[in-house]
Structures are given as C-alpha cells and as structure tokens.
Amino acid sequence: MIKKNKPHSINSVTELHRILSLPAPEHPLVSVIDLEKVERINAEDFPTVVFNFYSVWLEKDVKEKIRYGQNFFDFDEGMMIFIAPGQVLSTINHGKINGGIGLIFHSDFIRNYPLAKTINNYGYFSYAVNEALHLSEKEEDIIKSIMQNISNEYRANIDKYSQDVIVSHIELLLNYANRFYGRQFITRKAVNHDLLTRMEQLLNLYFGKKVSLTKGLPTVDHLARELNLSPRYLSDMLRSLTGQNAQQHIHEKLVEKAKEYLTTTNLSVAEIAYELGFEHSQSFSKLFKRKTAFTPLEFKHSFN
C-alpha cells in the first residue's frame, strides 16, 4: 500500500500501463491510451501522483474531481490538460472514465530533437486544471486524429524514420493546442478583461497600502495567486489582450507610480525606489530609463 501522504512517482510509460491494468506498451517511451479501456482506480492507493514524463489528456464525461495545484475541477464536460514531468496530480471520487484519449511520452524520446529545447515554450504545460483547454467537436477530431496517427506509427514496423514521424506529430499536436488556446483567449475576452481590471486593482492596492515597503516589488507569482491563476496562464492571457505579459504590466505600473512620485512629491530618486520596493535605486533608474528614455531626474526636471 502506498503511503497516502506521499505522492507516488510514476517514472515510465510501462509503469503507468501496469497501474492502469493495460497491456504492456508497444513502445517503451511513447504511448497513446484509450481511456475507455481504463478501469476504476482505487483512490486509496493513488491519492496523489507525479508523472515523470509528458502527458496530454483529452477527457470526456469523467465523473470525478481532479486536483492540480490548489484547485479542484470537475471533469464532466470534457477538456484537455497538459502535464509536464514533476507536476503533482491528485484525484478524488474515482470512477469509471467514460471517454477520451491520452498521449504520454518520455523526455528521452524527444531528447535529440529541437522539440526538447522548445517544449518549455508551450506555456500550457504550466497551467492549472481550471485553465484547461475546452475543445469544439471539430477541434477534438483534429487532436484525436493526430494521436491516432502516433499510435498507428509505433504499432507499424519500426524503421529509421519512425521516431522522426512520431516527434513531428507530437509537435503538430502541441502547435494545434497553441492555436486552440488562442481561440479560447478570444472567446473568453470579457472574462479576461475582468481579470485584467482585478489585476490593476491589486497593483493599486499593493502600492496604496505600501505593501512594497515590507514585501518588496510585486511579483507575477503574487498576482497570480491572488487571482487564483497559474503565473504562466496569467502572462499568456494578458499577452493575448494587451501584447504584454504580466511582468511587463508590473513594470508599467512601477513606472506609472514613479512618475506620480516624481511630479507630486519632493522625494529623492533613492526614496522613490525604496517606496516602490526596489532594493537598489540603480535598478529603479535603469528600468525607468528603459521605459521612458529619461532618467528619473531628467523626467522630474522636465516638469520644473
């Protein structure tokens, strides 16, 4: 029996097949799993797991709750989630999975390919479950088709081109997911604008209450936590709306507050830097000049 308070690490494709009571995989480093063939798993045995490989899950009609990070999500509509090696996944209320498909592949499978270096650019591997990708039927068909092509390829006679073809299909799937997330950001524009407004309010509150004096500069992690989002999702969402990520928004707010201090107070540059949460005034001056083309003193003197 696995200890309930300790995440269980699943280190290989073969081990996951064994846990799911599936036949041994036909390839040791990559597999496509038909979730309809997965039987009920005992939640007492596997309350929390860590996958030490990449996995992409398209799930439908799953009557159970899954916890990812600090959030629970009810998988009763169907969606895609992306899990990178080392991320923790918890499940409760286990039941039979009624539909869906999953792609799992070990990092060793893509190690000698450009994808090994660029896969970190696919930000959705850092999203939380409540930021999952919801697909239209047409989009689902595209994803299922790619996964089926991968399955067909490793089930065929392996030759020197097999791995190249499979890695190309994996990259194609990830690029389609990028496109579909772009569509989702657009269709949720009103909700995302509300999040942008809330973030602005949080930054105003941060400086209004002078939290920076005790906690330093506001961080993307702090804002994301307050908004109940993952940092990467927050940045990608903001970039889709404004062209700037979360860190750039923070910098814009810092410069805005700095201009306010420079034009309405007699504080020195060092005092303003301290008020904003900078440890060193030189860092503040460098940021200000990069954003405005003026040093803080040059900007102040232009109003005198």
pLDDT of residue 169: 98
pLDDT at 161 over 60: yes
- Using pLDDT thresholds of 50, 70 and 90, give the confidence band for residue 67: very low
Helix, strand, or coil (residue 133) = strand
Give dist(CA 81, CA 132) in Å, integer: 5
Structural domains in the chain?
8-187 (2.60.120), 190-301 (1.10.10.60)
Would you say the pTM of this structure is higher than 0.85? no
pLDDT at 38: 81
Mean pLDDT value across the chain? 85
- Give residue 56's pLDDT band: very low, low, confident or very high (50, 70, 90): very high
Query: With 70 as the cut, is the pLDDT of residue 75 above it?
Result: no
Structure tokens at 174: 């990830």
As to burial, measured by CB atoms within 10 angstroms (0-12 exposed, 13-18 middle, 19+ buried), residue 238 is: buried
Asked if the model's pLDDT at residue 65 lies above 60, the reply is: no
The amino acid occupying position 64 is E
| Residue 192 scores a pLDDT above 90 | no
**What gap in Å lies between CA 268 and CA 283, rounded to an integer?**
15
DSSP state at residue 96: -
Name the most confidently modeled range: 7-21, 38-52, 77-91: 7-21
Share of residues in the chain with pLDDT > 70 (%): 86
- Number of Cβ atoms within 10 Å of the Cβ of 211: 14
